[in-house]
């Protein structure tokens, strides 16, 4: 299970309901939300820059998406907001058509996600196997870590960026290391303050008190603004507009739901909860629809901030709600104060998230699990880093499915015996498109006696390819004037055979259990044998 591969602090138990909150838990949830809000600011600003929109567009998305999903999402403790996975898709749309088309796209994206929730498409996330989940976790941890490296670059007069050097780099690295050390040490003091928040506060006070020259949040952009206002996207309401925004909306909806549902599963493993996929689809859809009408760039679940939240003690909807409201208060009232926070403190927090998110034991178990599973873990990790999460998950699921089909195709075999002049083939293993060639190779029409029986007690006829393989075998024996009987087919196999037109179920030879039926060959088709 994934839970055995991802570190689970002892204080992370099943999430209490809002009604169970006592003053201690209330304080812990609120402080966890504050910690998350502080980490959301530079992320939202950075992703807005990636998408080519104003910083407030990213901040409004983080607030609205975070607020709606905190109230109605499928898993308490999850944090949603503007994400890099979505931002990279938006770049070409914004550059070619402008930000108004982005808002319209986000609205359509939200509608598609609502439809996914209505039709309960979220349940298909169960098709994502554990190796893909591990690759997703590891890849996203690496992506989060690489994203922090951008904070070690400074702007130059010519508009470019250069890596920090000398004393500036030393101060930045020292503050990052101090933040990480505080996050590791504070929990040992048993104080009721989230370790990431303590690390941010101590490092910020140190930088401000000593007047250290190091990049701060305000160096990215000003986060000051007003309340998000209702705004209809200024785009023509015609078919041409739809053809422009629809492809982007489909891609964004798919990426957003995949990342959100995988994060749902990951947080569920940590807080020991299950379900909620369809509800999460509905919440993400509603959040993005609203965001598009209030000037936001849309978003989805954020694994980094979700890990900060749960590891800071946030286990109810209050922590997510607090994070969204704190973020809004930063925009409205506390921008000058928040802009003074050193980026090194936030980088240190995110590096600790990387360490806590990466499934380190997945490296150790690679020698013990099947080679194909190890390959899928590495493949999904690499594709996540090189391209994007959606492509990585699709590739991982396809490879896992092909491996499963190949392994099952090799399982088909038969035990043979002769009784009363009849040869019995006891087939073992599933009969489907991948195993039909192996199934046909089991038989020897030239050397077999006049009558054979194919016993499917330990097999299962799965698809049309399997039916065709049975028909092909029957035809070969028919050409040689020999008779074939089929036995022990389950009721679902009966249904498949009945759908095949030329295959008719005439008699059950095991009526008490409904397991067996015989067929004999008649003029190229299978009919009842007695």
- pLDDT single digits (tens) 107-132: 999 999 999 999 998 888 888 888 99
Residue 306 neighbours by CB under 8 Å, 6+ apart: 77, 78, 79, 263, 266, 267
DSSP of 112-147, one letter per residue? HHHHHHHTTGGGGGGGS-HHHHHHHHHHHHHHHHHH
DSSP designation for 339 = T
Is the pLDDT assigned to residue 103 strictly greater than 90? yes
- Interhelix angle for 195-210 vs 303-311, to 10°? 100
Determine contact, residues 384/396, Cβ cutoff 8 Å: no
pLDDT of residue 525: 38
pLDDT confidence of residue 64? 96
Q: Extract long-range pairs of 494-502: CB within 8 Å, 24+ residues apart.
A: 496/461, 496/462, 496/463, 496/464, 496/466, 496/467, 497/461, 497/467, 497/526, 500/464, 500/467, 500/471, 502/471, 502/526
If phi > 0 it is left, if psi is from -120 to 50 it is alpha, else beta; for residue 504 that is beta
State the pLDDT confidence band at 493, using cuts at 50, 70 and 90.
Answer: low
Which runs of consecutive H residues, i.e. helices, occur in 423-528? 436-440, 464-479, 491-499
Dump pLDDT digits (tens) for 424-459.
999 999 999 999 999 999 999 999 999 988 888 888
pLDDT, residue 496, reads 56
CATH number of this structure's domain 411-527: 3.30.750.24
Q: pLDDT tier at 79 (50, 70, 90 boundaries)? A: very high
% the chain with pLDDT above 90: 48
What confidence tens digit (pLDDT) does each residue in 336-358 have? 999 999 999 989 988 988 898 88
Q: What is the largest CA-CA distance in the chain?
A: 98
For residues 149-155, give the mean pLDDT.
85
| pLDDT exceeds 80 at position 390 | no
Hey, CA dihedral for 99, 331, 342, 198, is it positive or negative?
Answer: negative
The mean predicted confidence, pLDDT, of the chain is 85
230-270 pLDDT, tens digit each:
999 999 999 999 999 999 999 899 889 988 998 998 888 88
Rounded CA separation 515/504 (Å): 16
Q: Is the pLDDT of residue 42 over 90?
A: no
Whether residue 147 has pLDDT greater than 90: no
| Contact partners, residue 192, CB within 8 Å, separation at least 6 | 24, 27, 28, 31
Where in the chain are the domains? 2-12+23-154+174-381, 411-527
Is the pLDDT at 335 greater than 60? The verdict is yes
The Cα–Cα gap between 449 and 510 comes to 25
Q: Note the pLDDT of residue 287.
A: 97
φ/ψ (deg, to 5) at 367: -80, -15
pLDDT value at 1 more than 60? no
Residues in the chain: 530
């Amino acid at each position: 299970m994934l839970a055995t591969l991802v570190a689970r602090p002892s204080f992370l138990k099943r999430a209490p309901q809002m009604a169970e909150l006592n003053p201690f838990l209330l304080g812990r949830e609120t402080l966890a939300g504050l910690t998350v809000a502080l980490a959301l600011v530079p992320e939202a600003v950075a992703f807005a820059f990636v998408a080519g929109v104003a910083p407030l567009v990213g901040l409004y998305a983080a607030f609205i998406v975070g607020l709606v999903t905190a109230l109605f999402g499928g898993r308490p403790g999850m944090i949603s907001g503007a994400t890099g996975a979505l931002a990279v898709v938006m770049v070409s749309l914004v550059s070619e058509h402008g930000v108004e088309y982005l808002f319209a796209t986000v609205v359509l994206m939200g509608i598609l996600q609502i439809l996914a929730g209505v039709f309960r498409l979220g349940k298909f996330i169960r098709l994502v196997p554990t190796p893909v989940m591990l690759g997703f976790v590891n890849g996203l941890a690496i992506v989060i870590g690489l994203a922090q490296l951008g904070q070690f670059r400074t702007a130059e007069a010519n508009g470019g960026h250069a890596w920090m050097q000398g004393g500036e780099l030393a101060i930045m690295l020292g503050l990052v290391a101090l933040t990480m050390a505080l996050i590791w040490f504070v929990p040992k003091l048993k104080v009721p303050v989230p370790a990431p928040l303590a690390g941010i506060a101590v490092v910020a006070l140190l930088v401000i008190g000593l007047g250290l020259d190091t990049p701060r949040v305000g160096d990215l952009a000003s986060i000051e603004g007003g309340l998000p206002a209702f705004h209809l996207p200024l785009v023509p309401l015609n078919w041409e507009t739809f053809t422009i925004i629809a492809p982007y909306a489909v891609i964004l909806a798919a990426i957003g739901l995949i990342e959100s549902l995988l994060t749902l599963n990951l947080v569920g493993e940590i807080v020991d909860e299950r379900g909620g996929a369809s509800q999460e689809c509905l919440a993400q859809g509603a959040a993005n629809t609203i965001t598009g009408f209030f000037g936001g760039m849309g978003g989805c679940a954020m694994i980094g901030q979700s890990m900060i939240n749960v590891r800071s003690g946030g286990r109810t909807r209050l922590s997510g709600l607090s994070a969204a409201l704190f973020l809004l208060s930063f925009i409205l009232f506390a921008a000058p104060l928040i802009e003074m926070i050193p980026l090194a403190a936030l980088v240190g927090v995110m590096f600790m998230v990387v360490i806590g998110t990466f499934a380190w034991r997945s490296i150790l178990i690679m020698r013990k699990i099947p080679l194909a599973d190890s390959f899928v873990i590495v493949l999904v990790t690499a594709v996540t880093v090189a391209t994007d999460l959606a492509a990585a998950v699709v590739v991982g699921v396809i490879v896992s499915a092909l491996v499963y089909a190949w392994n099952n195709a090799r399982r088909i075999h038969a035990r043979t015996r002769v009784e009363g002049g009849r040869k019995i083939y006891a087939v073992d293993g599933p009969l489907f498109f991948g195993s039909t060639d192996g199934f046909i190779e089991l038989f020897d029409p030239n050397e077999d006696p006049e009558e054979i029986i194919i016993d499917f007690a330990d097999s299962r006829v799965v698809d049309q390819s399997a039916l065709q393989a049975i028909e092909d075998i029957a035809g070969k024996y028919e050409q040689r004037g020999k008779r074939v009987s089929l036995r022990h087919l389950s009721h679902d196999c009966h249904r498949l055979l009945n759908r095949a037109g030329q295959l008719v179920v005439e008699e059950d030879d095991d009526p008490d259990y409904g397991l067996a039926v015989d067929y004999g060959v008649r003029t190229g088709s299978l009919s009842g044998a007695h």
